[in-house]
Copies of this chain bind each other. A is one copy, B any other.
């Protein structure tokens, strides 16, 4: 809500924020103010100090993803409070965080910086880049050069510019765009996924069940349940005229431990 603050703290849990509505809040990570706007993805590797502040007069909504269940069962959790107040210098709202100015140039790594902890050193993946990447893939497909996962299905994975790995050691995040009228082939995978319908509408099928989804809906795909999605977006109800799905999952856990399995012909 407007004017709200979250005090500075840090925890071993890896976390991210994906902004679903509004803009104006920023989060301060290790002293670096990171602006937040609809569609932005902000990874936050464990054990970094962070705080939040809403500098605007509007409410705002985001998805907070943390690997709390995993760290709970494995008894690996640590937590500390930080300073009571962040400084005025940290209360500014820059257009780009310092992390983006260091790590946000495609294929260019700063010689001055080596990430000190696991997880991406890039603290914000702005919507405009995600949107452009998906648009490019669908255009490449239309020109006859592939680029999509399958016909009408564009997808990117948020990754660390340091080493190309998942943005967080235990969490994977992706964005999928299904063009109007297209349908993805059923796939089953070990690991659980959460989807948020960022834009558009359509029908999703998980195992034996199908249902209609629209902007703002959240749904879960449990481990090893076949999943597919069909876009029935209209041109009006969607920025891209497509079914836009934000996805996060615990796939890195399965891959790190050699437990990952995928089956495409379900």
A251-263 vs B, Cβ < 8 Å mask (1 yes, 0 no) = 0111011110100
Give Cα A136 to B98, complex, Å: 9
Give Cα A185 to B193, complex, Å: 43
Interface centre among A148, A156, A174, A257 (most CB of B within 10 A): A257
Binding site for B on A (CB under 8 A): 12, 46, 69-71, 73-76, 78, 98, 101-113, 117-118, 120, 122, 125, 129-130, 132-133, 136-137, 139-140, 145-149, 155-164, 167, 169-170, 174, 190-192, 222-224, 250, 252-254, 256-259, 261
* 21 A–B pairs (Cβ distance < 8 Å), ordered by A: A70-B74, A73-B73, A74-B191, A74-B259, A76-B190, A98-B147, A101-B147, A102-B136, A102-B147, A104-B107, A105-B130, A105-B133, A108-B125, A110-B137, A110-B156, A112-B137, A112-B147, A113-B147, A159-B161, A160-B164, A256-B256
**Contact between chains at B75 and A109 (CB < 8 Å):** no
Question: Could you say how many copies of this chain the assembly holds?
Answer: 4
Given contacts A105-B133, A112-B146, A113-B147, 18 further A-B contacts (CB under 8 A): A69-B73, A71-B259, A78-B261, A98-B140, A98-B145, A103-B106, A105-B130, A105-B132, A105-B136, A107-B129, A107-B159, A108-B130, A110-B156, A111-B156, A112-B155, A169-B258, A253-B257, A256-B257
**Contact between chains at A104 and B101 (CB < 8 Å):** no
| A259 proximity list for chain B (CB < 8 A) | 12, 46, 71, 74, 76, 169
Give Cα A220 to B175, complex, Å: 43
Chain A interface helix/strand/loop/mixed: loop
Query: Sorted from nearest, which 5 A-B pairs have the closest CB atoms?
Result: A75-B223, A256-B256, A105-B133, A111-B155, A118-B258
